[in-house]
């Protein structure tokens, strides 16, 4: 059984990856998590928004894994938006909050 189930929605500028844990996650599970390759899947030129409930170390793993994308933001429901945490683009500055209504 996969430990992580995810879905992807995208438009011309953004990709929203929503994930859900299928069971309690252990640190050793990281080596078996299968995520889409942003280069092979053709979304490395876009902003990636990660959304889901998981431990902080899972988010750190995912941010590192998705480093090739244009920028990465983490959805935070308390802010009703996604916070840019990594960027290779002047369009998406680190710390910028992208409001929910502007996300896919």
Q: What is the pLDDT of residues 38-91, one digit of tens each?
A: 999 999 999 999 999 999 999 999 999 999 999 999 999 999 999 999 999 999
Write out the H or E segment, with its range, that includes residue 42.
Answer: none
User: Is residue 83 one of the residues assigned to a domain?
Assistant: yes
Q: Are 98 and 82 in contact (CB under 8 A)?
A: yes
d(C-alpha 67, C-alpha 101), whole Å: 25
User: Is residue 28 one of the residues assigned to a domain?
Assistant: no
pLDDT band per the 50, 70, 90 thresholds, residue 103: confident
Strands annotated E in 22-96: 47-51, 71-76, 81-87
Q: Provide the domain count of the chain.
A: 1
Owning domain of residue 62: 4-22+35-102
User: Is residue 27 one of the residues assigned to a domain?
Assistant: no
d(C-alpha 95, C-alpha 19), whole Å: 22
Q: What is the pLDDT of residue 100?
A: 80
Global confidence as pTM: 0.94
């Amino acid at each position: 059984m996969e430990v992580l189930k995810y879905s992807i929605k995208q438009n011309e500028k953004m990709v929203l990856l929503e994930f859900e844990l299928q069971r309690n996650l252990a640190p050793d599970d990281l080596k078996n998590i299968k995520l889409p390759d942003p280069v092979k899947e053709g979304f490395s030129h876009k902003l990636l928004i990660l959304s889901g409930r998981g431990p902080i170390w899972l988010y750190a793993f995912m941010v590192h894994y998705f480093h090739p994308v244009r920028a990465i933001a983490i959805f935070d429901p308390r802010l009703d938006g996604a916070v840019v945490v990594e960027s290779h683009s002047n369009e998406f500055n680190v710390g910028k909050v992208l409001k929910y209504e502007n996300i896919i």
